[in-house]
Amino acid sequence: MTARNYDVILTVDNATGFQSTNALVGNTTATVGYIANVNTSTNQLKVKLNNVLQEFSSTEVVHSNTISITGTANGELNSSSIPFQSNTMSGNVTTAIATVSAIAPSAFIAEKNAFTQNPVVRLYTVYYPGEWYPPNAQGNPTGQGAGRAWPNDFPLRFAEIRGDLVSDLQYNVVFDAKTYLPFPLNSTAIDQSSDGKINELTLTMFNFDNIVSRLVEDPFLAGNNTSNSVQAIVNGELVHGIDPRTVPGTTTNEDGLNYDEAIVGTYGRNNASFTYEQTLAVGGTWQEQKMDTRDLLGGVVEIKTTFANFLDYWPEYSTVQYISANVVEVYNSMPYRVGDNVIAKGGQTEATIQSIEENRFLFLSNELDANVTIDTPIYIVNAQADTESYIEDKFKIDQLESLNDSVASFGLVSWLQYFRIVTPKRKYYKNTCQWTYKGAECQYPGPGGLAIPGTSLTSNVNPIAANNQVAADAAGDVCGKSLQACTLRNNQQHFGGFPATGRTIPRE
C-alpha cells in the first residue's frame, strides 16, 4: 500500500511545543493531521492529512494534542477470524497552539506537479528474512531476529534512475545517509483496483557476475554460529551473532586480539555476522534460523519513489584528474555549476565552486580534504535534499519467477495481501456506533453524573432509552448506537462510527 510521508508544510507564528507524531487540529476548518516533522528555526510543520479532502486554511489557529492510550489493540496483522479490539484513550493534553501564516504543498507533490520534472529515482531495499522486519530505530532486526545483526550483504540497496540523464556520467545515489547501488533493474507498475487490491509486481534484476544467483541459491543465509560468535556494537546497539575477527578492540567488547582485516574485507564492514562458510572454517556450530533460505521467499522489499533533486547529493558526478590546492581538474564538469557546494567521497570538507574554466577546471572557495587523490569522486551537495519527500510501498517476495545468467525475476505481493489481512477491520459506517455499550471502547460509566474516562465531562444524570428519550429506570438505559445517543450522554468523544463518511449502515 502506497504511503506518503507528509502532504503540506504549514508555516506558523511559533512552532515551539509542537511535537512529531502528535495530532494537529485546525480550530476553524476542523481539519486533522499528523505532524511528521517540526522545524522550530523556520517555524514550519510538515503535516500528513488524515483526510485529503480536507485542508487547513491560512490565518486559522491550530493546536496539537498528546493523547494517552491504554490497552493492547489486535487490529494489526491478524486474520479476519479474530475480532477487532481497539486501544482506548485515557487522556488528551494540548501541547501547543499557533496561527497559520502560510501553506505550501509538500516538496514531493510540488515536484510531481511541476511542468518540468527532475529524474524519478526508485530506491529498492531488500530485507531478509522478512520475519525480522521492520528494522528498529538503530536499523537492526526486530521480530524473530531481535538482538541480532542482519545476515551479511543485507539489507540490499539498489537504485533505479528514470529520466533523461547524460549517459557518459557516473551516478551516486545517497538518500537519508543510506547509499544505494545504481543497478540495472525494473519493476512493473504499482496499480490499485477499485476494491483496494494492489496488483502483484514483477521485479527484474540484472544478474551480473551471478550477484543474485549467489544469494538465491544459498540455503544457509539465516543462522548463527552458537559456539564462536560474540556480541558487538552494531549501529550503536549491542547485538549478538558477530564474528569476533571483525570486532575492533574497545573497552566494552573484544580486546581486538582476533581482529583480522582480511576477514573484515571479505565481509565489507566491521562487526559482521558469521556466515555458514566462515562457521565451518573456524570449527563452529551452525544453528539454522530457517530450514531453507533459497529464493529469498518471504523477504521484504521496500520501494521508495523520490526525485533526483531530493537526494543527499546530486546523482551525477565526475572524478578528479588533477588537484592543486583549491583548483580541481575533473574529467567532465558537465554536472557542476558555479555556486554549487561540493565534497569529495569520504571527505568532511565542503567547498563552493567559484568559477569553471575550460569545462574541466573547478576553482573552489577552499581546499578539500588532504586525502583527495586522482579518481576520487567529487559530489555535489544537494541544497534541496529532503529525506521526507518520497512515497513508499512495501512488498513481500512471493516467488522466484525466473533465474538465468542474465536476469533474475521475483514476484512481489503487497504486504497486506501476503498476510491475508482483511482491512479495514471495522466498517466505515456514518450513523452507527460499533462499540459494545459501556464496554472497553465505549467507556460510558452509566447514568448518574459519573466521570467519563479520558474527558472532563460527566454522564447524563438520567437513563436514556433506545429512542433517545429519558427512560423510566436504569433497566431502560439502552444505547441507540447513533451520534445523537452519544451526544445526549456527553460521550461523543468515544463514538464508534465515522460521521465524516457518506456511507450509512445497510437497512434490511
- Which string of DSSP letters, residue by residue, matches 457-488? -B--SS-B-TTSSB-SSGGG-----SHHHHHH
35, three cell numbers: 505532524
Average pLDDT over residues 485-503: 83
Average pLDDT over residues 305-314: 92
Q: What are the residue ranges spanned by the domains of the chain?
A: 3-105, 120-217+299-305+389-418, 223-288, 313-381, 426-508
Unique residue bearing C-alpha cell 586480539: 257
Pair type for strands 341-344 and 377-381: antiparallel
Return d(Cα 179, Cα 176) in angstroms, integer.
8
Average pLDDT over residues 441-449: 90
Residue 301 has pLDDT above 90, yes or no: yes
pLDDT band at residue 362 using 50, 70 and 90 as cut-offs: very high
Return d(Cα 263, Cα 160) in angstroms, integer.
31
What is the b/e burial string over 422-439, where b = at least 16 CB atoms within 10 angstroms of the residue's CB?
A: eeebeeebeebbbbebee
Pair type for strands 407-414 and 341-344: unpaired
Of 312, 304, 389, 385, the C-alpha closest to 7 is 389
Residue 39 has pLDDT above 70, yes or no: yes
Q: Which of 22-31, 161-170, 459-468 has the lowest mean pLDDT?
A: 161-170
**Per-residue confidence (pLDDT) for residue 92, from 0 to 100:** 66
Per the prediction, the chain carries an average pLDDT of 84
**Per-residue confidence (pLDDT) for residue 76, from 0 to 100:** 46
What is the amino acid identity at position 381?
Answer: V
Q: Which of 25-29, 73-77, 200-204 has the lowest mean pLDDT?
A: 73-77
Measured in Å, how far apart are the chain's first and last C-alpha atoms? 34
Pair type for strands 223-225 and 350-357: unpaired
Of 97, 69, 83, the C-alpha closest to 13 is 97
**Per-residue confidence (pLDDT) for residue 196, from 0 to 100:** 57
CA 235, 240, 245, 247 torsion-angle sign: positive
**Per-residue confidence (pLDDT) for residue 200, from 0 to 100:** 81
Residue 432 has pLDDT above 90, yes or no: no
488, three cell numbers: 445526549
Total-model pTM:
0.73
Write out pLDDT tens, residues 221-272. 988 898 888 888 888 899 988 988 888 875 444 455 667 888 888 888 888 9
| CATH number for region 313-381 | 2.40.30.20
429, three cell numbers: 459506517
SS3 263: helix
Average pLDDT over residues 323-332: 90
Pair type for strands 350-357 and 8-12: unpaired
**Per-residue confidence (pLDDT) for residue 382, from 0 to 100:** 92
Q: Of all residues in the chain, what percent carry a pLDDT higher than 90? A: 31
Q: Of all residues in the chain, what percent carry a pLDDT higher than 70? A: 86
What length does the chain have?
Answer: 508
Residue 420 has pLDDT above 60, yes or no: no
